[in-house]
Amino acid sequence: MTETTIADQPVNPVEPFLRTERMPHIWCPGCGIGTTVNCFARALVESKIALDKVAVVSGIGCTGRVAGYVQLDSFHTTHGRAIPFATGLKLANPSLTVVVYSGDGDLIAIGGNHFIHAARRNADIKVICVNNFIYGMTGGQVAPTTPIGAMATTSPYGCFERPFNLPFLAESSGAVYVARWTAYHVRHIAHSMAEAFSKKGFCFIEIIAPCPTLYQRRNRLGDGLDTMKYYKQKSVIKNGASTKDVDLDLRGEIVVGKFVDINRPTLEQTMDLQLQHALGSSYSGGGGR
Amino acid sequence: MKANPAAVLTGTHFIDGDQACCEGALAAGANFSAGYPITPSTEVVERFAWRIPTVGGTFLQMEDELASSIAIQGATWAGAKAFTVTSGPGFSLMMEHIGYAAMTETPCVFVDVQRGGPSTGLPTLPGQGDMMQARWGSHGDYEIIALCPNSPQECFDLMIDAFNLSEQYRTPVLFMMDECVGHMTEKVVIPPADEIEIQPRRYTSLPPQEYHPFQPCADGIPEMVKAGDGYRIHVTGLTHDEQGYPAMEWRTQEKLVRRLVEKIRTHVPKIVRYEEKNIEDADVVVVAYGITSRIALRAIEMAREEGIRAGLHRPIVAWPFPEERLRELAGRVKGLVVVEMNYGQMFYEVERCVAERARTLLVPHGGGTVHEPEAILAAIREAVR
């Protein structure tokens, strides 16, 4: 029997995209976030984007830790505020591809106001939202995405609030690209991410992902593997579906696909256009732009 | 480095403090601002929105103060010089991001045109009730730099210093105006650009493989890079090591927080600034800042007319507090009278420095209008009695 050394092992193709010195990561076994990061790395490869010009901005929470693991310029900001940080970053250096990578609680609860306004402005940022229906980092509290009836530590008798339908929220706020996948759809996720990187404007990708520790277990939805089987069986790909019709519930069908892909001038473009129109040749541009 | 002539409105102007503050920011090299409207500060960003497109830079009105106060930090990490402007309730909302800037050592300037409070208080009328909030408002422990202009001219001059200090020490700098100073119109002389000294950002010259984003230089301050330059940095509000990586244990916390505090404390003599009048022979010293210092001057004149030897000590830099000077004064005067538009904030700093070696009296005011000089005079009389 020959001995296998580490040097003989094939290098994982996503390794160059990770801060491997920071491994092991904090995510639980069966968590979907790591899967999405794998897709993210593959999307960077697929899009052939210059990595020195990609910046990742996260808020707070389990998904908020993504910024700390990617081998890119990365900013772990405050709770809910990744989007306005990213807006400033992008406006001051438009040559950057700015990706906001965060969770449902961070982006949609505490950061909800920034989410709708960045979409309205069509800020040129790519928002990846890992939606696990729960606050994982703090121990499993109810979120604005928690389905009615689902158990959480702060809804011990079941959630009684209607959750947000995130693709509908994104589209109605002005996003130019809206897609939803589950952590089972790894190739679709990577492809959507690559599409978003090459598209101008506010792009939103929701990724439904398991939180086996705090959501699946408390709601008797099995472990990570059971959840993958559920995603496989209950997901229906409906590209172009009306976002009005893609609400989610506890155990029902999950409509996935690319729902929106339109073109609209970005914040930078409308700003330049208006200021050029008003000021003519005395407009000096945005500084960094 | 000298100021950019395209940004400097050289000449003699008749403008208010808010406008002068904006011109100071432009002269200092600010090319990014994000703001949310709030009285009595809005004129600063209104002017910036009007001026910046022809100078070169960006203004964006955000959806709230939380967004404004973090958008400027995103811009800073992209290489911009950035500031935001607010008042009262907005200042409260920005506290978390003052802490983020302190923790991530992001140079930027926060302007607070103080109005009467607490809460919505007196939107159009003055107050000086945010001075301790400026010092301690964000959670956790850090040192801060805060400046207090008392005229439109100083709003211009000190705004340049505010940006320079924030670059020198890689810290948020707070610019503590008040409604009177903000809305008072006076002569403001803006010098030629080549007479304005600018502290450039302290960018590293090290290559990426040798660079650690939070490794301090000899003066305790790390050098910076910006996003997109190939350094692949990580910046976090979590307790972090010199590499910028989170480390959830007390030794890293101790090392980091100690450095954040020490990088200001060890440079206090360079940062502290004050103005004094009639201090040489004074038996009583009036301590006042912002608009209040100008009312105090009238009271000091009245006291001198009565034969009371009164003088003024005016902190220009409020934080760090001019402790050493206050200790010196305490050793040689009968009393110190602190005049401020609140019910005692900087007063406690003065008391601490005086340490019962002289009388200390507070002339408080809830805000909404300035003190009557007579009220200050009464305290001056009491101090020498």
Question: Looking at the partner chain, which of B82, B226, B234 has a beta carbon nearest the beta carbon of A68?
Answer: B234
Band (pLDDT 50/70/90 cuts) for residue A11 is confident
Is it true that the peptide bond before A29 is cis, omega within 30 degrees of 0? no
Q: CA separation (Å) from A187 to A97, A107, B95, B125, B154?
A: 21, 24, 42, 60, 60
pLDDT tens-digit map of A135-166: 999 999 999 999 999 999 999 999 999 999 99
Query: E-strand spans in A10-122?
Result: 54-58, 73-76, 97-103
Instruction: Give the per-residue pLDDT at A6.
Output: 59
Hey, are the CB atoms on B236 and A68 less than 8 Å from each other? yes
Q: Which SS3 state, helix, strand or coil, does residue A86 take?
A: helix
Hey, are the CB atoms on A287 and B54 less than 8 Å from each other? no
Q: Which of A245, A241, A244 has its CA nearest to residue A261?
A: A241
How, if at all, do strands A254-261 and A235-237 pair? Answer: parallel
As beta bridge partners, residue A204 has: A127, A178
Determine what percent of chain B falls in helix, strand and coil, rounding each to the nearest 5.
40, 25, 35
**Dist CA B156 CA B146 (whole Å):** 15
pTM flag (> 0.90) = yes
Chain B: closest CA distance from residue A77 (Å):
6
Using 50 as the pLDDT threshold, list the residues of chain B that sit under it: none
Instruction: Give the per-residue pLDDT at B135.
Output: 98
CATH 3.40.50.920 boundaries in chain B: 275-384
Band (pLDDT 50/70/90 cuts) for residue A13 is confident
Hey, are the CB atoms on A77 and B56 less than 8 Å from each other? no
Fold of the domain built from segment(s) B5-195: Rossmann fold (3.40.50)
Element (H, E) at A203: strand A203-208
* Among A58, A77, A107, the residue to mutate for chain B (most B Cβ within 10 A): A77
Instruction: Give the per-residue pLDDT at A286.
Output: 79
Domain A11-263 has CATH 3.60.20.10: no
Hey, are the CB atoms on A78 and B70 less than 8 Å from each other? yes
Q: Which residue of A has its CA nearest to B95?
A: A78
Chain B residues lying within 8 Å of A99, measured CB to CB: none
Q: Which of B331, B337, B320 has its CA nearest to residue B377?
A: B337
Is A209 in contact with A130 (CB distance < 8 Å)?
Answer: yes
Say how many CB pairs under 8 Å bridge A and B. 157
Could you tell me if the ipTM is greater than 0.90?
Answer: yes
**Dist CA B224 CA B79 (whole Å):** 10
Instruction: Give the per-residue pLDDT at B173.
Output: 98
Q: Within 13 Å and on the Cβ side, how many CA atoms surround B361?
A: 20
pLDDT tens-digit map of B236-295: 999 999 999 999 999 999 999 999 999 999 999 999 999 999 999 999 999 999 999 999
Question: Looking at the partner chain, which of A68, A75, A93 has a beta carbon nearest the beta carbon of B228?
Answer: A93
pLDDT tens-digit map of A95-112: 999 999 999 999 999 999
Instruction: Give the per-residue pLDDT at A8.
Output: 66
State chain A's mean pLDDT as an integer.
Answer: 95
Instruction: Give the per-residue pLDDT at B134.
Output: 98
Hey, are the CB atoms on A117 and B245 less than 8 Å from each other? no
Q: Is the pLDDT of residue A2 over 90?
A: no
* Among A25, A52, A89, A173, the residue to mutate for chain B (most B Cβ within 10 A): A89
Element (H, E) at B48: helix B42-55
CATH class of the domain defined by B275-384: alpha beta
DSSP A13: T
Chain A: closest CA distance from residue B383 (Å):
48
Instruction: Give the per-residue pLDDT at A288.
Output: 55
Q: Is the pLDDT of residue A34 over 70?
A: yes
